[in-house]
Amino acid sequence: TSACVNVTHLELYPDLDKSISYICNKFHVREEHHPLPQRGDYQAARYYFSDAFPSATALAAAMLYQITSPIAIKLIDNRQKYLFKELFDQNIIQTWAKELKLSCEEKDKYGAIVEICGPQIEQGQLMRRIGDYADEFDQRFIVYDLNATTVGYFGRQKAADVKLQEIDKKYQSKGCSVVLDRRTSSIIFYAQPNATIEAVTTCKTDIEQLLKMFVNINDDDGSEMSDITYQQDNTRECSFCKQKRIATRTFRICGHAYCRCAVSTLKKLPLSCPRCRRNIHIQDINEMFCSNRGDLVELCKVAIQNYLNCPTNATDKDLLFCPNESCEGLIFRNKDYQTCLTCGRGVCANCKLIDDELHENRTCVEREQLRKENTEFFPQLFKNVEEFVKDNWPPELPRIVDIICNPYLKQPNTPSLTCFYEGVRELGCQPPPDINQGFFGFHGTSAKAVESICYFGFDPSRRSGQVYGSGEYFGVKATISHGYSIKDNPLSESYMMLVAYVMKCDRVKTHKDFCYVVNNPTDWKTAFNLPVAVITYGKKAENKLNFSFTLSSTCTSQLPETSRLKTWTSPFRWAWRKDDLTFEPYNDKINQILEESYEKWKLHKGPSFFVTPPLIRYIDDIPQTYQIDFAANRQTNTKTHFPRSIQRNRLEDSKINVKVRWFYQNEHKLWTPYETMVQQDIEDAYQAYVKGAGSSKWCVQFPGRPERYEINFVMGIQTNTVSNEPREIRRE
């Protein structure tokens, strides 16, 4: 038997013959090809693989398809359309494509599909450039969602509509545009790359002042609202992501606010507000999904599935949707493992497994018993990930130097594993999950960040390059993720890449031949992906990762949550010596680790030294581990081996007996107490302001951090003096 695949743009693949030779040797097949009629300005051919078993020829064709398949980007929302229009209009993406020897073109007359053809490594590099550009673009593009009441003021030729057109006309010459999208009930602000910061700022201010006017009109008592009241009422906190935004709408029934994230979050029926659990009005649903028909189709499938599961449904109760997300066929509930007549894959109606050999001719109970007898989760996971990497490593990438399975997964309280298990429970399963409930994906990142990700997991607050929306991105192919891998040393000849295990669930979206996007909750308490292995690849192994970190019994995951309002202060404080010979106090969390370990050593119940979890370094924000030696009063960086003196001091009573506590709101909207060492200083500055002896603004620097923050006692806000990022504060 034979298998074939069409390859277009032959001129873009100078090493195609080498790749085909590699495929033929790997699968022991014979290849021949025939040219296809020329269409446009590129060459194409059809490649046949034969003289082998069907499975071998099919795998050979699949590998060639992976090497030569294009990336097709479907532009589904206004942000993507504006972004790619700018890239094409400014000739930016064409220049990048020419540099990387790729083809990039709009495939339909509406420009709704962008196709990128050429070698996979260069495709990944182009997508990396687009993602980096998108981060800057997002500073110039804002969507203001309008609620049902406000959008009524923007009827054609009404006062608000006329005013909006005036704003647009005023700033057009300055590179800004303001458009009302009636289909999505939103105002779109866009600034061209050459627009000045002043023009962008004043234009956004004019838009927000216009919106503020209608908040005033709708104010129940008709009174004028101050700027602070406007910020409180119009900059509302989304009930889903807990972020404060101007561009929010409110539910008709309960009045709570929501933003665009609701579309990707609402997956379970009945649809309800996460704050009060009251049902969502059908008109709200229509407004949410008006520009997200793909998500609406998925939601409709869930609704139909609920109907099929309903006990009162006597006619169709034995039917279910096929668990294959790309299939819309129905299967029989009472047949357990079966072949779907629509997609042809082996599926189970009960446990939702797909193409599982262990399930063949067995019930779900029999399969589970056999699985438990055969293997445990992590040994099988580590075995599978090594096989996955070796089977899917492309020949065009440098050779693999080493594959290291994440050693921190062997420790039960590792934060990355804790978050993942919470995700498994949210899906209605008990951890660890069945291995067949997930799949593997590649993730390129900075080599310096690899160990931190292995321990803590993927931090949602560090998302960037979000071309396909919010989430953590994982490459379908290693060649794509290679474009995101960054050496820790430009002279190094090796790279690092992570492999993650991703759960099959509605939080995951697949973009064919490019990536998986996992929309994890931003509070970093739940994750549907797990860092499983680290690949070191290149010409030399000098960049090989060395996991030197051994957790003590006082690992960070066992410490109290920062959202708890801490009221106790330890009487002792540890500090490390800086370059100027002064001592800098450790923060509260690290102080607890040191004090507990010191006590064990002092009472002869533990060693005189231990290795800390990764700590954020003072000078470069890179997590590092340190060996603490209590006998010598010394800390040593485990990688650089640089030593520093440490000391343990008794705190003054004024630092311990603090009756008033100060808190700030962290990035997850949790109230977090300030460090013990600055609590009394903040209170003293506050009392000085109240008594007229001090300023309403006061600067503070936290232990272990170089940044300075300005605390404004009038506004109740803390502001980073470098990034200007504000956070709310409170006093109790």
- pLDDT tens for residues 391-408? 899 888 899 988 999 988
Quick check: 465 pLDDT over 60? no
Q: Are 328 and 342 in contact (CB under 8 A)?
A: yes
Q: Are 212 and 109 in contact (CB under 8 A)?
A: no
Quick check: 706 pLDDT over 80? no
Quick check: 510 pLDDT over 70? yes
Q: Which two tokens stand for residue 128?
A: 């990396």
Neighbours of 282 (CB within 10 A): 10
Distances in Å between the Cα of 110 and the Cα atoms of 75, 106, 114, 293, 580 are: 10, 8, 10, 18, 63
d(C-alpha 29, C-alpha 53), whole Å: 9
Q: How confident is the model at residue 100, as a pLDDT?
A: 92
Angle between helices 92-100 and 78-89 in degrees, nearest 10 = 70
The arithmetic mean of pLDDT across residues 256-266, rounded, is 80
The pairing of strands 717-720 and 709-712 is antiparallel
Q: Which two tokens stand for residue 474?
A: 């994982």
376: Cβ–Cβ under 8 A, 6 or more apart, which residues?
Answer: none
3-state helix, strand, coil split of the chain in percent (to 5) is 35, 25, 40
257: Cβ–Cβ under 8 A, 6 or more apart, which residues?
Answer: 236, 237, 238, 239, 248, 249, 250
Quick check: 241 pLDDT over 90? no
Over pLDDT 90: what percentage of the chain? Answer: 23
Q: Greater confidence, 111 or 257? A: 257
Q: How confident is the model at residue 680, as a pLDDT?
A: 82
Question: pLDDT band at residue 226, thresholds of 50, 70 and 90?
Answer: very low
Question: pLDDT band at residue 13, thresholds of 50, 70 and 90?
Answer: very high
Quick check: 230 pLDDT over 50? no
Quick check: 440 pLDDT over 90? yes
Angle between helices 54-68 and 16-27 in degrees, nearest 10 = 160
Q: How confident is the model at residue 551, as a pLDDT?
A: 36
Q: Which two tokens stand for residue 173?
A: 């010459």
Exposed e or buried b per residue across 364-400, where buried means at least 16 C-beta atoms within 10 angstroms of its C-beta: eeebeeebeeeeeebeebbebbbebbeeebbebbeee
Quick check: 24 pLDDT over 70? yes
How many CA within 13 A on the CB side of residue 300?
9
Q: How confident is the model at residue 554, as a pLDDT?
A: 31
d(C-alpha 500, C-alpha 669), whole Å: 28
Q: How confident is the model at residue 170, as a pLDDT?
A: 93
Over pLDDT 70: what percentage of the chain? Answer: 85
Span of 150-154, 510-514, 620-624 with lowest mean pLDDT: 620-624
Q: Are 137 and 83 in contact (CB under 8 A)?
A: yes
The arithmetic mean of pLDDT across residues 584-602, rounded, is 80
d(C-alpha 128, C-alpha 120), whole Å: 12
Closest by alpha carbon to 663, among 682, 650, 638? 682
Q: What element of type H or E holds 404? A: strand 400-405
Q: How confident is the model at residue 595, as a pLDDT?
A: 81
d(C-alpha 606, C-alpha 294), whole Å: 58
Quick check: 229 pLDDT over 60? no
Q: Are 161 and 152 in contact (CB under 8 A)?
A: no
Closest by alpha carbon to 514, among 245, 38, 116? 116
Q: How confident is the model at residue 221, as a pLDDT?
A: 40
Residue 224: Cβ-neighbour burial (10 angstroms; 0-12, 13-18, 19+): exposed
Q: Which residue has the tokens 């603490």?
A: 628
Q: Greater confidence, 691 or 180? A: 180
Span of 63-72, 364-373, 383-392 with lowest mean pLDDT: 364-373
Quick check: 175 pLDDT over 90? yes
Quick check: 560 pLDDT over 50? no
Q: Are 480 and 439 in contact (CB under 8 A)?
A: no
Closest by alpha carbon to 195, among 179, 173, 178, 215? 173
Domains present along the chain, CATH in parentheses = 3-68 (3.30.1370), 71-137 (3.30.1370), 235-316 (3.30.40), 318-360 (no CATH), 377-538 (3.90.228.10), 556-651 (3.30.720.50), 657-731 (3.30.720.50)
Winning range, highest mean pLDDT, from 355-364, 424-433, 498-507, 511-520: 498-507
Question: pLDDT band at residue 109, thresholds of 50, 70 and 90?
Answer: low
The chain-wide mean pLDDT, for the chain, equals: 81
DSSP letter at 247 equals: S
The CA R_g of the chain, rounded to the nearest whole Å, is 29
Q: How confident is the model at residue 88, as a pLDDT?
A: 93
Q: Map residue 55 onto helix, strand or coil.
A: helix
In degrees and rounded to multiples of 5, residue 522 shows phi and psi of -75, -10
Question: pLDDT band at residue 327, thresholds of 50, 70 and 90?
Answer: confident
On whether the pTM is more than 0.85, the answer is: no
Quick check: 692 pLDDT over 70? yes
d(C-alpha 611, C-alpha 630), whole Å: 12
Question: pLDDT band at residue 34, thresholds of 50, 70 and 90?
Answer: very high
Question: pLDDT band at residue 365, thresholds of 50, 70 and 90?
Answer: confident
Quick check: 472 pLDDT over 60? yes
